[in-house]
Amino acid sequence: MTRFCPKCGKLTEKFYDNLCKECFLESVSFLHFLPQKLELKRCRSCGSYFFKKKKFANLDSAVRESIFHHLRKCREVEEFVYRIMGNNVSVRLISKVRGLKKVEEKTIPIKLKPITCRPCQLKKCGYYEVLIQFRSYSVSFDEVLRLVEREMRKLSRKDELAFVSNVVRNKFLDVYIASTQAGLKVAKVLKEKYGAKMKLSKKLVGVRKGKRVFKTTVCLLV
């Protein structure tokens, strides 16, 4: 049975909420799930981007996470496509409602707030939790440092404090590492690599959030 759509007057057989397909799709929108602007943070020092305390290596990844976050409660949106254009991002939503496909687009300004992230703040002030004292007359310190940096790159994927805050090269080599966990892992790698004898000592330096804070010194003798 066909009848006229009360909104546009089109003769149609199937109705959705008493409207034809076209008028029904015009009446629904999911663009309100998207924000009026994407608010992100960018570190002045390392150039990393941040959204909801998550760190991203580039703007594209941060924008994608932000869009996904805002759409997470909208079950009708099956897919979104975006394109960054200068200080704006164009977002296309592909949704399905009552079995019908709905495509919408919205351009959103990107607002970047400059910050200095916590790891960079700590790096600038020379913060460390582990001091690795590498003592050797035969091993190249350049080789040791390359190995340390390689391990730091791997560990930094899960530990934001996995970085070298300072290196002192005199007669021997001292490497200062911000993360206790990362520092001890690197020390173990160096011990196994060079067959070093390892001596470890800890010093209580304070209390943070109810937990005792130690600085650890690891001496490696090759």
CA 129 to chain centre: 23
Cβ-proximal residues to 103 (8 Å cutoff; 6+ apart), any chain: 92, 93, 94, 95
Residues 204 and 129 both lie in one domain? yes
Q: Is the CB of residue 40 less than 8 Å from the CB of residue 112?
A: yes
Domain that holds residue 184: 118-221
- 12: in domain: no
Identify the CA nearest to 123 among candidates 47, 169, 186, 178: 178
Residues 175 and 137 both lie in one domain? yes
- 87: in domain: yes
Question: What is the structure's pLDDT at 196?
Answer: 93
Q: How far apart are the first and last CA of the chain?
A: 91
- 20: in domain: no
Please give the model's pTM, rounded to 2 decimal places: 0.74
18 three-state secondary structure: coil
Residues 135 and 163 both lie in one domain? yes
Question: What is the structure's pLDDT at 44?
Answer: 94
Per-residue pLDDT of 86-143, as tens digits, reads 999 999 999 998 889 999 999 999 999 999 999 999 999 999 999 999 999 899 999 9
Domain end residue (candidates: 89, 115, 141):
115
Residues 171 and 108 both lie in one domain? no
**Residue 110: which CATH number?**
3.30.1300
Residues 98 and 37 both lie in one domain? yes
Burial of 83 (0-12, 13-18, 19+ CB in 10 A): exposed
Domain end residue (candidates: 115, 148, 171):
115
| Cβ neighbours of 180 (radius 10 Å) | 18
Query: Higher-confidence residue: 13 or 50?
Result: 50
Residues 133 and 206 both lie in one domain? yes
Q: Which amino acid is it at 211?
A: K
Residues 127 and 110 both lie in one domain? no
Question: What is the structure's pLDDT at 212?
Answer: 80
For 85-149, give the DSSP string: ETTEEEEEEEEEETTEEEEEEEEEEEEEEEE--HHHHHHHTT--SEEEEEE-SSS-HHHHHHHHH
Domain end residue (candidates: 80, 115, 150):
115
